[in-house]
Amino acid sequence: MLAVRCTFTAGRYHATPWGAHVNEGRPEWPPSPWRLLRALIAVWQRACPEVPASRVGPLLRAMAELPHFRLPPARLGHTRHYMPLATGTTSVFDTFVALGRRDADRSVDMVWPGIALPAADVTLLRSLLDPLPYLGRAESWCRAEVLDAPPPACNCMPADEGGMPAEHTERVDVLCPVTAVTLRDLALNTDALRRGRGADARTPPGSRWVTYVRPPLAGLASRVGGPAPIAPATVVRYALFPAPEPGSPLPALTATLDIGDLARRSAMAWYGRREGGALSSTLSGRDAAGPLGDQHGHCHYLSTDEDRDGRLDHLTVWAPAGLDAASVAALCRMDELRRPDWAGRPLRVGLQLLGTGGTEALPLCLRGPSAVWRSETPFVLPRHPKGPNGDDPDPEAPEAQLRRELGFRGLGPSLGGVARTERYLGCGRSHAWISFQRRRDGQSALVPGAYGFELTFASRVCGPITVGANAHFGLGLFRPVLSGM
């Protein structure tokens, strides 16, 4: 048996799976054997160049067998920041695996049960592991060593070997070397791989993808197979990031309806894949008989500009009546919203799942509470105005329709003043309400016009407040007037 321990001294493991983009928000976990062997090649060339290849090659080929892992408890974490470019800056997601505070909670053990190395090879391996400064990105400082005693029981191993319970685990693809891997394969850099004609950039020469079963990362819903336990919820939250290029801009605030519509389509598609083509009335707002008459208890897909820069940066899926576990599982699989190029208005944005929960998971810009709420997106009339009839006011005037819609949401009795606002004003930006996208693809014509309002209630009320036509896709959304917001 051979066992190697890597202790991540900073309590974090930063690494992106081979072939994935850093802004996809997917960390590599467990550390891939392919990464470890390539790191040993680098240490050999830098710190031990006097060791001949005839000794290093057999050692690394012996370690090409599939290892088992002992993984400590871990959580998903991320930071968002800007990176400088020659032409400006670009936003970057730094997703990492957060470990515990004790050394025992920061250590990953790789175990090769069927390997028995000669003493000389063990000594060579120690000399390669000792100067290893990090594994993964440069922030992943580590201390690597060969274990003399067997480690505790492993909890991550190849799926086809069995030995792991199906419940409370998830499946993940791990890049491993083939048994006949060569030093040339391991030393190949990514530039050379990209230049190779016909090469598969996701599977470099000498490697293979192996499905492992691991304990789930806390804070990360299962995305690949595996019946990980998922609880019902009311809210599912995402951060938006540019896709496919990190330098491309996020959608403008005026594209709120587009993002909400694509989110609904994606959620329904994922639910259908998981449930054998079934339709979720909670996600779609429809059943076999047509639109639901549940007084807006089904899903709302609300995209928001929470840093007030004029571009959408978060998506909140909110179902006042609640989401069952199957719906939450489908929503947790969403990682991208995309309208293809042939649709005429191509749109692509990545999603980073932030978490699920009850109404406490709603951000302040949706939840409040506040006594004053101001339009964030235009209120679109659900019915045509009729115009005044003599001395009688128009029963379908915008203000009257707004009060009726708020009544459907249970907010009518506490509503006081309703005042129109001419334009959207936020963070020094101004948009005419008519400039917002107001009709979904394939939807019949709506009532012309778009309106903004400031609502004053007798006491502080909680949101979200979203009313009018296409309210389930982010139109008619009001923002609480709070200090600093």
Q: What is the pLDDT of residues 432-467, one digit of tens each?
A: 899 998 888 777 777 788 999 999 999 999 999 999
CB of 49 closer than 8 Å to CB of 192:
no
Percent pLDDT > 90 in the chain is: 43
Give burial (CB, 10 Å; 0-12/13-18/19+) of 444. exposed
Q: Which pLDDT does position 294 carry in this prediction?
A: 66
CB of 170 closer than 8 Å to CB of 74:
no
Alpha helices by DSSP H, listed for 341-480, are: 364-367, 398-408
Mean pLDDT of 32-40: 95
Decide which of 362, 393, 413 is a domain's last residue: 362
C-beta pairs of 124-131 under 8 Å, 24+ apart in sequence: 124/51, 124/55, 124/56, 124/59, 125/4, 125/59, 127/48, 127/51, 128/40, 128/43, 128/44, 128/47, 128/48, 128/56, 129/4, 129/40, 129/43, 131/43, 131/46, 131/47
Decide which of 180, 214, 248 is a domain's last residue: 214
For residue 342, what are the contacts with CB-CB under 8 A and spacing of at least 6? none
3-state secondary structure of 316: strand
CB of 41 closer than 8 Å to CB of 189:
no
Q: Is residue 53 part of a domain?
A: yes
Residues 172 and 193 reside in one and the same domain: yes
In the chain, the number of structural domains is: 3
Q: Is residue 225 part of a domain?
A: no
Within 10 angstroms of residue 380's Cβ, the number of other Cβ atoms is 25
Summary mean pLDDT of the chain: 84
Residues 302 and 417 reside in one and the same domain: no
- 244: cis peptide before it, omega within 30°? yes
Q: Which pLDDT does position 23 carry in this prediction?
A: 67
Higher pLDDT, 300 or 202: 300
CB of 154 closer than 8 Å to CB of 145:
no
Q: Which pLDDT does position 198 carry in this prediction?
A: 44
H/E stretch holding 258 reads helix 256-274
H/E stretch holding 325 reads helix 325-333
Residues 468 and 376: their CA atoms lie apart, in Å, by: 13
Q: Is residue 219 part of a domain?
A: no
pLDDT above 80 for 19: no
Residues 300 and 328 reside in one and the same domain: yes
Mean pLDDT of 176-181: 92
pLDDT above 50 for 221: no
Higher pLDDT, 397 or 40: 40
Q: Is residue 185 part of a domain?
A: yes
pLDDT above 80 for 482: no
Q: Which pLDDT does position 194 carry in this prediction?
A: 63
pLDDT tens, 229-286?
467 889 999 998 887 654 568 898 999 999 999 999 999 999 998 888 888 999 988 8
Mean pLDDT of 411-429: 82
Higher pLDDT, 81 or 142: 142
Residue 224 — very low, low, confident or very high, per pLDDT cuts 50/70/90? very low
Residues 281 and 186 reside in one and the same domain: no
Give the CATH number for residue 167: 3.30.70
Nearest to 406, CA basis, from 478, 338, 481, 318 = 478
Count the residues in the chain: 485
Q: Is residue 267 part of a domain?
A: yes
Residues 73 and 200 reside in one and the same domain: yes
Q: Is residue 222 part of a domain?
A: no
Mean pLDDT of 402-417: 89
Question: Longest Cα pair distance anywhere in the chain, in angstroms?
Answer: 102
- Provide the domain limits for residue 71: 2-214
Residue 87 — very low, low, confident or very high, per pLDDT cuts 50/70/90? low
Q: Which pLDDT does position 338 carry in this prediction?
A: 85
Residues 83 and 188 reside in one and the same domain: yes
Higher pLDDT, 23 or 335: 335
Residues 65 and 201 reside in one and the same domain: yes
Q: Is residue 59 part of a domain?
A: yes
Residues 302 and 346 reside in one and the same domain: yes
Higher pLDDT, 275 or 152: 275
Nearest to 366, CA basis, from 425, 418, 316 = 316
Q: Which of 2-6, 205-209, 383-387, 464-468 has the lowest mean pLDDT?
A: 383-387
CB of 32 closer than 8 Å to CB of 357:
no
Q: Is residue 221 part of a domain?
A: no
Q: Which pLDDT does position 234 carry in this prediction?
A: 93
C-alpha distances out from residue 190 to 195, 198, 201, 298, Å: 9, 14, 8, 47
Phi-psi region of 244 (alpha: psi -120 to 50; beta: other; left: phi over 0): alpha
pLDDT tens, 352-408?
888 888 888 898 889 989 999 999 999 999 888 876 655 556 778 889 999 999 998
Q: Considering the entire predicted model, what is its pTM?
A: 0.56
Residues 177 and 196 reside in one and the same domain: yes
> For residue 342, which phi and psi values (nearest 5 degrees)?
-70, -10
Residues 269 and 251 reside in one and the same domain: yes
Q: Which pLDDT does position 95 carry in this prediction?
A: 83
Decide which of 162, 184, 214 is a domain's last residue: 214
Q: Which pLDDT does position 473 carry in this prediction?
A: 95
Residues 141 and 19 reside in one and the same domain: yes
Residues 356 and 382 reside in one and the same domain: no
